[in-house]
């Protein structure tokens, strides 16, 4: 495999596909290398969430708001050329007062305090009493203290979006090579990354973008740029197609705590949303178990119970299948984006955990700016790949 490119993107999930699209449209020569098939990683296991509702004021929310606008524009650009990516601006609904341990009024007060802070940062949010929740979701349980509605939350079909991004990148000259595993990074005498090694031969590049998702930590390690991004398993339950039942993305308030948790054990909360095909997707679980593909009956039981508790009519709906994927977990819950000061030529685009689909356009835009030598539109300091250096070095010393 010969070839020389301005950019080699490692990983053809939605983040890698977006990076290829953003770089190729700038006139850069791009090769995308994927160890497996199309959407074989977290992208193929995701619900397609594009959320601002689950993020507190700070750098990730800024990234999400920027990405939200890009997705709206990209969906039009891609849809005109490559078909509908099923972008639905249906909004998100966060509710409290459901299930064991629900704290009712106190929980609602906490949600509203979060909403006020988010609104000050540019998020559109509407506070709802129980009647307001039921007006938006007639099938939801009446046992609610209230909720928040986020009109900027959206959903898309991840596989379609990824395929469209890769097709658009190819139209701008990019090459996409599936089942091509990167086995090493090539470096010059000065230590700069100048390409990759694969089982099919070397590929030279001016920059290598690490968009390898849950495998990104291992890829960074090949260059000596240790980055503690690890796989975090999650299960999704899918129902049979039903008539319209769930109008928005609806989730219980404890989802916010689960997203922010770094516990290795099983974390679960209730997330329910419909799809254009009529199926209903039910999540969400999180557990740090490395790449363990075994079925977890307890995780699936929690998903089913939580969904029925939130939407009682689901008790009469059959589950059609269950599947799992591995989110790229970052210990500080911020993605890893930008040039690696430890290894010139290596650029990172990973560590988004469950937010990769939503944050893909903004991540790609920033990566393309870095590779092109432009000043990034958002400050990259909070996402600096080298920020874990002290933590990794301390772990080595203790070993």
- The model's pLDDT over 312-327, given as tens digits with 9 standing for 90+, comes to 999 999 999 999 999 9
Q: Is pLDDT of 361 > 70? A: yes
pLDDT of residue 396: 58
Per DSSP, helices labelled H in 142-246 are: 158-171, 216-222
**Rounded CA separation 220/227 (Å):** 6
Q: 95-151: per-residue pLDDT in tens?
A: 998 655 556 777 889 999 999 999 999 999 999 999 999 999 999 999 999 999 999
Q: How confident is the model at residue 395 (pLDDT cuts 50, 70, 90)?
A: low
- As beta bridge partners, residue 176 has 32
What pTM was estimated for this model as a whole?
Answer: 0.95
Neighbours of 223 (CB within 10 A): 22
Q: To the nearest whole number, what is the mean pLDDT of the chain?
A: 94
**Rounded CA separation 17/32 (Å):** 8
Q: Is pLDDT of 295 > 80? A: yes
Q: Is pLDDT of 357 > 70? A: yes
Helix (H/G/I), strand (E/B), else coil: 207: strand
**Rounded CA separation 299/229 (Å):** 23
Q: 64-77: per-residue pLDDT in tens?
A: 999 999 999 999 99
**Rounded CA separation 292/329 (Å):** 15
Q: Is pLDDT of 241 > 60? A: yes
Helix (H/G/I), strand (E/B), else coil: 238: strand
**Rounded CA separation 187/334 (Å):** 28
Q: What is the DSSP string of 285-310?
A: EEB--SS-----HHHHHHHHHHHHHH
Average pLDDT over residues 365-373: 98
Using only C-alpha atoms, what is the Rg of the chain?
Answer: 21
Q: 167-216: per-residue pLDDT in tens?
A: 999 999 999 999 999 999 999 999 999 999 999 999 999 999 999 999 99
pLDDT of residue 106: 79
**Rounded CA separation 16/213 (Å):** 9
Q: Is pLDDT of 393 > 60? A: no
pLDDT of residue 337: 98
Average pLDDT over residues 148-161: 97
Residues 6+ apart with CB under 8 A from 315: 308
Helix (H/G/I), strand (E/B), else coil: 373: coil
88: DSSP letter: B
Kind plus residue range of the DSSP H or E element containing 265: none
**Rounded CA separation 211/267 (Å):** 26
pLDDT of residue 397: 52
Kind plus residue range of the DSSP H or E element containing 251: strand 249-252
Average pLDDT over residues 273-301: 96
Q: Is pLDDT of 264 > 80? A: yes
Instruction: Give yes or no for a contact between 196 and 8, defined as CB atoms under 8 angstroms apart.
Output: yes
Q: Is pLDDT of 10 > 90? A: yes
Helix (H/G/I), strand (E/B), else coil: 44: helix
* Sign of the Cα pseudo-torsion (250, 255, 260, 266, in order): negative
Q: How confident is the model at residue 392 (pLDDT cuts 50, 70, 90)?
A: low
pLDDT of residue 389: 78
The tokens for 371 are 């590779």
pLDDT of residue 390: 61
Q: Are strands 230-239 and 49-50 parallel, antiparallel or unpaired?
A: unpaired
């Amino acid at each position: 495999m010969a070839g020389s490119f301005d950019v080699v993107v490692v990983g053809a999930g939605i983040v890698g596909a977006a990076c290829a699209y953003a770089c190729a449209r700038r006139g850069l020569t791009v090769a995308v290398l994927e160890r497996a098939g199309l959407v074989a990683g977290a992208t193929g296991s995701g619900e397609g969430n594009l959320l601002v509702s689950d993020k507190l004021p700070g750098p990730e929310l800024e990234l999400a708001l920027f990405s939200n606008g890009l997705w709206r524009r990209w969906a039009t650009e891609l849809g005109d050329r490559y078909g509908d990516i099923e972008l639905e601006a249906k909004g998100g609904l966060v509710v409290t007062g459901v299930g064991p341990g629900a704290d009712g009024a106190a929980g609602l007060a906490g949600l509203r305090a979060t909403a006020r802070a988010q609104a000050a940062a540019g998020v559109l949010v509407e506070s709802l009493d129980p009647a307001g929740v039921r007006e938006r979701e007639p099938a939801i349980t009446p046992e609610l203290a209230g909720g928040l509605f986020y009109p900027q939350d959206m959903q898309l079909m991840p596989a379609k979006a990824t395929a469209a991004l890769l097709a658009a990148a190819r139209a701008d000259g990019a090459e996409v090579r599936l089942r091509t595993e990167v086995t090493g990074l090539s470096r010059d005498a000065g230590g700069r990354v100048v390409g990759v090694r694969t089982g099919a031969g070397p590929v030279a590049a001016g920059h290598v973008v690490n968009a390898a998702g849950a495998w990104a930590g291992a890829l960074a390690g090949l260059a000596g740029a240790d980055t503690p991004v690890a796989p975090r398993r999650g299960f999704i339950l899918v129902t049979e197609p039903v008539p319209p039942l769930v109008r928005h993305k609806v989730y219980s308030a404890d989802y916010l705590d689960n997203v922010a948790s770094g516990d290795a054990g099983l974390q679960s909360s209730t997330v329910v949303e419909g799809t254009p095909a009529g199926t209903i997707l039910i999540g969400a679980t999180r557990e740090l178990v490395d790449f363990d593909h075994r079925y977890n009956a307890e995780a699936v039981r929690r998903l089913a119970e939580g969904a029925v508790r939130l939407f009682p009519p689901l008790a009469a709906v059959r589950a059609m299948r269950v599947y799992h994927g591995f989110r790229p977990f970052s210990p500080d819950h911020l993605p890893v984006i930008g040039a690696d000061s430890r290894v010139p030529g290596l650029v990172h685009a990973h560590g988004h955990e469950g937010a990769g689909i939503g944050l893909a356009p903004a991540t790609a835009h920033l990566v393309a700016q870095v590779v092109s030598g432009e000043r990034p539109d958002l400050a990259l300091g909070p996402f600096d790949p080298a920020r874990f250096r002290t933590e990794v070095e301390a772990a080595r010393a203790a070993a």
